[in-house]
Amino acid sequence: MSDHDPPQLRRPRHRLERRVLGWWSVQAAVVVLPPVAVLTLLTALIPPARTWLGLSLGIVAGLGLAYLLVMPIWRYRVHRWETTDEAVYAVSGWFWQRSRIAPVARLQTVDTVSGPIQRLFGLTGLVVTTASAAGPIRIQGLDRKLAQQLAETLAGRAQATPGDGQ
């Protein structure tokens, strides 16, 4: 590959940390459990509507359980990432999947981000911003130390690589 050939979109090599399965499961539970709890309470407290509320509870609980069991594993199989001297590659999603590539010469900022649940699992996300209208590349579910090292490495590569404005 010459200096002027753009990086080619391909499947990245690295998977996320396995701990991401727990993080995604907890996130899913936070979404699924409140409506199930409310429907359970309403079914118990409103006898005349018990049939319809019970049916609604069954549907919501069934779909919620399927989501809790399938989504984390499916996403884990899809999500991949890789950085090279030339580019940052990422594939994400679970139902709708997205492949992204950002040449190092186009990087503007590299940040680490982690929410409270993510931190409980010792995970951090990497956000790589370019001037792209598609928005930043987000790689969620990295080990904290690895994410910090990647952020420093990518920032150094971006600074050392002539970009569009140079």
Q: Is 123 exposed, middle or buried (0-12, 13-18, 19+ CB in 10 A)?
A: buried
Domain tally, the chain: 2
Do residues 43 and 95 share a domain? Answer: no
Q: What is the pLDDT of residue 26?
A: 97
Q: What is the pLDDT of residue 4?
A: 58
Over the chain (166 residues), what is each successive 10-residue block's mean pLDDT? 63 95 96 97 95 96 97 96 93 90 91 95 95 89 96 90 60
Q: What is the pLDDT of residue 3?
A: 54
Residue 14 placed within a domain: no
- CATH code of residue 150: 2.30.29.30
Q: What is the pLDDT of residue 166?
A: 47
Q: What is the pLDDT of residue 44?
A: 95
> Distance between CA atoms of 31 and 8, rounded to whole angstroms?
37
- Residue 64 sits in which domain range? 21-75
Do residues 69 and 101 share a domain? Answer: no
